[in-house]
């Protein structure tokens, strides 16, 4: 079955790294991208929300893909994520290291198991936690979040997960606040305090919280190999410097 092409959005600040740009150009040249955009200024959560709203309400694509400008990926990543997200009709990410030595993973599989990561397979697992970029989103997941807006906005334990339709004064454009960060009460393991701590949920995790609460699936693809560049390229297996050959 042919996988539909995504609406690709590259997210970066201070310039897109050449490796990410090269990957995007390669995939576009190979017919793997249906439409594209970039986020390089302003509040990232707001720009993501505007792109997601535009995708849901105006784009013919069935799924969208956010990638960060400091990543490098193989040519099998987009087809693999597309295959999985068309099956789950939810949200799908990849196992990605953080961009520094010994920092662990930004998006992890369950139990922190990294065996077989990046082996090119189509394996994936469902998770109950937030994921980061690359983030594939099926339009059905966004539609579920919009349908759940009255539930989010009603007085309840999910009061922090409000979803609003915001209008931009200068243009009249309206968008859903899919990615708006929020703070939630949190009781960490082995925490001895009586009052909960406040945990900040940034744009990626805030979006995933809304998706999970709305009944959408969150999954992590295990097969794609993605490097995250800080001073060097970091992989999930080692979080240490990769060989200069890269992927």
Same domain, 45 and 131: yes
pLDDT, one tens digit per residue, over 154-192 is 655 545 677 888 877 677 788 999 999 988 766 555 656
Q: Would you list the DSSP string of the chain?
A: -PPPPPEEEEE-SS---HHHHHHHHHHHHTT--SEEEEE-SS-HHHHHHHHHHHHHHH---SEEEEEETTEEE-TTHHHHHHHHHHHH-SEEEE-EE-SSTT--EEE--GGG--TTTTSS---EEEESS---SSEEEEHHHHHHHHHTHHHHHSSSTTGGG---EEE-TTT--EEE-TT--EEEEE--TT---SSPEEEEE-HHHHHHHHHHHTT--EEEESS--EEEESSSEE-TTTSSBPPTT--
C-alpha to C-alpha distance for 39 and 49, rounded to whole angstroms: 11
pLDDT of residue 41: 76
Higher pLDDT, 42 or 61: 61
Q: What would the pLDDT profile of 127-157 be if each residue is shown by its tens digit?
A: 887 788 899 999 999 999 999 888 776 655 5
Whether residues 121 and 148 share a domain: the answer is no
Q: 28 with 70, same domain? A: yes
Residue 105 lies in a domain: yes
Whether residues 161 and 40 fall in one domain = no
CATH of the domain at 65: 3.90.550.40
pLDDT at 83 over 50: yes
Q: Considering the entire predicted model, what is its pTM?
A: 0.85
Higher pLDDT, 36 or 145: 145
Residues 147 and 74 in one domain: no
Each residue's pLDDT tens digit, 103-132: 556 666 655 555 667 788 888 989 887 788
Specify the pLDDT at position 197. 66
Q: What is the reported pLDDT for 244?
A: 35
Residue 240's pLDDT is what?
A: 38
66 and 118 fall within a common domain: yes
**93 domain residue, yes or no:** yes
241, part of any domain: no
Handedness of CA 32, 212, 37, 235 (dihedral sign): negative
**Do 99 and 221 fall into the same domain?**
yes
The reply to whether 190 falls in a domain is: yes
Q: Which residue has the higher pLDDT, 79 or 164?
A: 79
226 and 116 in a common domain? yes
Residue 115 domain-assigned (yes or no): yes
Asked if residue 244 is part of any domain, the answer here is no
Give domain status of residue 150, yes or no.
Answer: yes
What value does the mean pLDDT take over residues 6-28? 87
| pLDDT at residue 229, rounded to an integer | 72
**Model pLDDT for residues 192-244, shown as the tens digit of each residue:** 666 666 677 889 989 999 999 999 999 999 889 888 776 555 555 554 334 43
Question: Does residue 1 lie in a domain region?
Answer: no
In this structure, the answer to whether residues 106 and 177 fall within a common structural domain is no
Does 135 share its domain with 27?
yes
Read off the pLDDT band of 53 (50, 70, 90): very high
Q: Are residues 32 and 112 in the same domain?
A: yes
CA distance 144 to 158: 16
Residues 130 and 76 in one domain: yes
pLDDT, position 245:
38
Count structural domains, the chain. Answer: 2
pLDDT at residue 18, as a whole number? 84
User: Contact at 8 Å (CB) between 109 and 90?
Assistant: no
- Give residue 80's domain range: 7-139+217-234
């Amino acid at each position: 079955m042919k996988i539909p092409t995504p609406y690709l959005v590259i997210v970066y600040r201070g310039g897109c790294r050449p490796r990410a740009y090269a990957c995007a150009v390669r995939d576009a040249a190979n017919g793997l991208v249906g439409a594209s955009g970039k986020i390089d200024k302003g509040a990232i959560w707001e720009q993501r929300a505007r792109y997601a709203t535009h995708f849901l309400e105006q784009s013919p694509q069935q799924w969208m893909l956010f990638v960060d400008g400091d990543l490098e990926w193989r040519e099998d990543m987009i087809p693999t994520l597309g295959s999985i997200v068309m099956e789950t009709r939810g949200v799908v990410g990849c196992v990605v290291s953080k961009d520094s030595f010994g920092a662990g993973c930004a998006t992890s599989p369950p139990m922190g198991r990294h065996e077989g990561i990046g082996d090119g397979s189509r394996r994936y697992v469902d998770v109950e936690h937030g994921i980061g970029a690359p983030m594939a989103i099926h339009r059905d997941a966004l539609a579920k979040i919009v349908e759940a807006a009255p539930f989010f906005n009603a007085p309840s334990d999910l009061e922090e997960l409000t979803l609003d339709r915001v209008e931009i004064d200068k243009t009249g454009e309206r968008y859903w606040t899919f990615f708006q960060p929020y703070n939630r009460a949190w009781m960490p393991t082995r925490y001895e305090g009586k009052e909960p701590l406040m945990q900040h949920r940034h744009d990626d995790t805030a979006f995933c919280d809304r998706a999970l609460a709305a009944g959408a699936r969150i999954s992590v693809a295990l097969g794609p190999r993605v490097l995250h560049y800080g001073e060097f390229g970091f992989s999930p297996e080692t979080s240490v410097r990769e060989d200069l050959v890269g992927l």
